[in-house]
Each structure stands twice: as C-alpha cells, then as structure tokens.
C-alpha cells in the first residue's frame, strides 16, 4: 500500500475503527497512491481474494492483506523518525518488518562488534601473557573481521640470554575459530630457531594450554637451546603438578616435534640445594636468591657472582634437573666441570674455617712461643 505520509495518522484511526465493525482484511490498488475512500474492507479472506482477482481482469493489480498487518505498518511509520507531516509518498506495506529487520541488523552488527572487541581483547591478552607483547592489534582485528575459519600471524625477533648473540626466532602464531561460536582462539605457535651459524633452523610447535600455564616465547627459546623449564601443569584428571621440562632432541613425533621429557617432583631435583653447593653471593640475600631461582626456573642461563678465594667473579649458571645439578659457565660461556667447582667450594670452606679458628684462638702457635720465651728470660734474670 502506497500512501501520502501526511495521511498516516488519519488512515490508522479509520482502519482501527473498521476492525471494531468486524472487518479483518483490506484490499487496495498496489500500483497507485491509496486514499482512505479507496480502501476495501472484508470480513473473510476469500472475499478479499475474489476482489483482487476481479481487479486483475480489469488490468489493475490489487493486493489484499490482513488488516492487523496494515495497522502494524502504520504504527511503525508513526514511531519512526520520518516526518509524518511531509507531503510525500511512502510504501506502508511491510514497513514494520523492514524496520524490525533493520533494527535486528543493527543489533546483530552491534553484538557482533562487541563480541569481536571481546575476542580481540582476549587474544591480545593471550599473546601478551605468552610473551609476544602487545603489537598485534591491527593484524588481529583485520583477521577477525575477515571471518575465516583460521589465520596465521608471523613474528620475528632477535633473542639473547644475558649475552649478545644473533639468534633469530621466527614464530608462526596459529589462530582458529570455534566450531560452536564465532570466537577465535590462539591454539599454538611454531618456532624456528636460526643460530648465528649458517645451519638449518631448529623447529618445534608449542601448544597453548587452556587449564594450565603455557610455555612462553622466551621459555620456548630456552628449551630449544637445550635448557630446562619449570612449569605448573595439570593432568587429564585436572590435578595440578609441578615438573621440569626438557626437549629430547634424539626423539621426535610424526609431526616433527621433539619429545618433551618431564622431571616430576618425585624425581628428586632440588634447585636450591644444587645452588647451595657453590659459593654464590646472591644466595646470601633473600630477594636476590629468589630472583635467581625464578630466572633459572624459566630456563634462563643467568649471571651470578661466584666468590672463590675471596675474589668475586661473574659467571653463568643454568638448571640441570636431569642430572640433579646446575651447569656453570665462565664469562666466555665455557662450561666449568663439576670437579673444579667442588674443589673451589672446598678451598673456600677451608679458608673460612681457618679464618674462624684464628679469631677464636688468638694465643695459639706464635702467641705460645712468645710466652715461653718470656718465661725463659725471667728464669735467667736471678743468675745475674
């Protein structure tokens, strides 16, 4: 039905009055502007249909609809932001549905945008806490808007472990859309470690754990360097446990990933006790000791101050849970064997022990000799 916008309110009032008199269907010329006196009212749908067929024979296109639909459309026009006093035409039929669909479209878009923003923040947090920083906003937003079932983002960085080097870490971040919702999840990342030497890169895929701590990018680098990382994990029953992880470069699965060996709590590795076998200055200060141990648990090769023979020297130390010890390196990152370290520790202990004895017995040895000489002199005096 096409009407003059200015007639909307009056037409609504008239049609509602016809409902009061028992009319439930209306028919009108669908090709022309419908005036109030041109609307036909019917009590039964067959009568309205017959009227429209008769008009078709007269080369006019008539349409019939339930009267409640027209009332709903006219009310929707009045509630809309259209100027109902303007002298212009409007197609009333289906107006309420178009308005409803438009609102649903806007609401759906709004809800989708809100969900996308939540998804974006969720993914940004996942990347941040896995050690990839906060630089992927634009790439994440662009891929979420595309709506593909999965997407990848590449990341490259130069890694170091307390000393300058040129290890290049190329990471492929993998995201996948849920089959139940439109949410994307950060599922895994594949690392390619290219050493300074011109050799093939080492590759490993690390998966993101939903229920326990995932391996961070720095921890992944440390693992691929052959070091061990301490993590709190969960088993299939959801029970938490602590263990050390270490890549086994001699075994790999069907996808080319190296097997990860786990050294659980009952394996018997005590990092604190292993460090205590060495004269490390940081162990004497609670905060420095805690920082050192936390760094080693992340798989870092951490610098520490060793005290040997009263002389302080900078060395590097890393956890070695497999052999229940720690590895020690000099400033040139050359491994110091355990026997040398034990001898240095023993020499330092002996020196400290001798120093304590000296303080506790100031009259021993030389002091006793002095007293004996004095006694001899005293005995000789009377003979003169």
Secondary structure letter of residue 176 according to DSSP = E
Q: How far is CA 382 from CA 312, 369, 371, 375, 378, in A?
A: 57, 22, 18, 12, 8
Of residues 3 and 370, the one with the higher pLDDT is: 3
Secondary structure letter of residue 59 according to DSSP = T
Would you state the pLDDT for residue 209?
A: 85
**How does pLDDT run across 31-88, given as a tens digit for each residue?**
787 888 888 999 999 998 988 888 877 767 788 889 998 888 888 888 887 777 777 7
Assess contact for 359 and 337: CB atoms under 8 A: no
Would you state the pLDDT for residue 373?
A: 44
Would you state the pLDDT for residue 375?
A: 44
Would you state the pLDDT for residue 365?
A: 46
- Does the pLDDT at position 363 exceed 70? no
- pTM, two decimal places: 0.63
Would you state the pLDDT for residue 197?
A: 64
Which range among 5-19, 108-122, 196-210 has the greatest average pLDDT? 5-19
Would you state the pLDDT for residue 372?
A: 42
Of residues 337 and 40, the one with the higher pLDDT is: 40
**Residue 368 — pLDDT band, cuts 50, 70, 90?**
very low
The share of the chain scoring above pLDDT 70, in percent, equals: 81
Would you state the pLDDT for residue 96?
A: 73
> 354 Cβ partners below 8 Å, 6+ apart?
none
| Structure tokens belonging to residue 264 | 């659980």
**Phi then psi for 131, rounded to 5 degrees?**
95, 15
Averaged pLDDT, 351-362: 57
3-state secondary structure 78-108: HHCCCCCCCCCEEECCCHHHHHHHHHHHHHH
Of the candidates 87, 76, 82, the one whose C-alpha atom is nearest the C-alpha of residue 4 is: 87
Positive or negative: CA dihedral 234, 239, 242, 248: negative
Would you state the pLDDT for residue 196?
A: 66
**How does pLDDT run across 121-149, given as a tens digit for each residue?**
999 999 999 999 888 989 999 999 898 99
Averaged pLDDT, 258-268: 94
Give the pairing of strands 167-177 and 25-29.
unpaired
- Does the pLDDT at position 350 exceed 80? no
Q: What is the DSSP string of 11-32?
A: HHHHHHHHHHTT--EEEEETTS
Q: Using CA atoms, how far apart are residues 59 and 65, in angstroms rounded to an integer?
A: 20
Q: Which helix (H) or strand (E) segment is 113 a member of?
A: helix 95-129
Would you state the pLDDT for residue 163?
A: 54
Q: Using CA atoms, how far apart are residues 222 and 216, in angstroms rounded to an integer?
A: 10
Assess contact for 312 and 305: CB atoms under 8 A: yes
| Structure tokens belonging to residue 152 | 């990848």
Q: Which helix (H) or strand (E) segment is 51 a member of?
A: helix 45-57
Q: Using CA atoms, how far apart are residues 361 and 58, in angstroms rounded to an integer?
A: 133
Q: What is the DSSP string of 213-251?
A: PPPPHHHHHHHHTT--EEEEEE-TTS-EEEEEEEEEEEE
Assess contact for 111 and 104: CB atoms under 8 A: no
> 86 Cβ partners below 8 Å, 6+ apart?
5, 6
- Could you tell me the strand order of the sheet in which 62-66 lies? 40-42, 25-29, 62-66
Give the pairing of strands 40-42 and 25-29.
antiparallel
Q: How far is CA 258 from CA 135, 250, 251, in A?
A: 29, 8, 6
Of the candidates 10, 69, 71, the one whose C-alpha atom is nearest the C-alpha of residue 45 is: 69
- Does the pLDDT at position 340 exceed 50? no
**How does pLDDT run across 194-216, given as a tens digit for each residue?**
876 667 789 999 999 877 789 99
Would you state the pLDDT for residue 80?
A: 80
**How does pLDDT run across 242-255, given as a tens digit for each residue?**
999 999 999 999 88
Minimum mean pLDDT among 99-108, 172-181, 257-266: which range?
99-108
Minimum mean pLDDT among 142-156, 245-259, 344-358: which range?
344-358
**Phi then psi for 221, rounded to 5 degrees?**
-60, -45
Mean pLDDT of the chain: 83
**How does pLDDT run across 288-329, given as a tens digit for each residue?**
999 999 999 999 999 999 998 889 999 999 999 999 999 999
- The angle subtended at Cα 60 by Cα 54 and Cα 65, nearest 5°, is 70
171 burial class (0-12, 13-18, 19+ CB within 10 angstroms)?
buried
């Amino acid at each position: 039905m096409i009407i003059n916008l200015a007639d909307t309110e009056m037409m609504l009032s008239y049609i509602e009055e016809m409902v009061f008199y028992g009319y439930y269907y209306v028919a009108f010329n669908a090709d022309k502007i419908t005036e109030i006196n041109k609307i036909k009212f019917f009590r039964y749908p067959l009568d309205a249909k017959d009227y429209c067929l008769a008009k078709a024979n007269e080369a006019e296109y008539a349409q019939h609809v339930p009267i409640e639909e027209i009332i709903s459309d006219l009310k929707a026009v009045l509630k809309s932001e259209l100027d109902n006093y303007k002298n212009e035409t409007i197609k009333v039929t289906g107006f309420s549905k178009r308005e409803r669909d438009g609102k649903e479209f806007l609401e759906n878009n709004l809800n989708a945008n809100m969900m996308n923003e939540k998804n974006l923040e969720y993914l940004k947090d996942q990347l941040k806490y896995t050690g990839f920083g906060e630089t992927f906003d634009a790439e994440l937003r662009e891929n979420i808007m595309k709506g593909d079932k999965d997407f990848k983002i590449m990341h490259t960085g130069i890694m170091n472990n307390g000393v300058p080097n040129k290890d290049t870490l190329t990471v492929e971040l993998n995201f996948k859309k849920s089959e139940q919702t439109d949410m994307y999840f950060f599922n895994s990342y594949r690392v390619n470690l290219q050493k300074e030497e011109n050799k093939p890169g080492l590759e490993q895929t690390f998966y993101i754990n939903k229920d326990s701590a995932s391996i961070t990018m720095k921890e992944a680098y440390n693992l691929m360097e052959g070091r061990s990382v301490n993590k709190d994990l969960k088993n299939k029953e959801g029970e938490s446990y602590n263990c050390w992880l270490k890549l086994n470069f001699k075994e790999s699965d069907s996808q080319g990933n190296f097997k990860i060996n786990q050294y659980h709590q009952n394996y018997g590795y005590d990092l604190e006790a292993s460090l205590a076998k060495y004269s490390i200055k940081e162990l004497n200060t609670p905060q420095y000791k805690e920082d050192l141990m936390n760094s080693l648990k992340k798989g870092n090769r951490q610098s520490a101050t060793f005290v040997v023979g009263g002389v302080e020297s900078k060395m590097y130390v890393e956890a070695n849970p497999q052999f229940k010890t720690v590895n020690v390196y000099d400033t040139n990152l050359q491994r110091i064997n355990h026997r040398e370290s034990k001898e240095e520790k023993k020499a330092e202990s002996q020196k400290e022990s001798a120093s304590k004895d000296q303080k506790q017995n100031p009259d021993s040895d030389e002091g006793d000799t002095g007293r004996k000489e004095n006694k001899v002199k005293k005995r000789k005096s009377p003979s003169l």
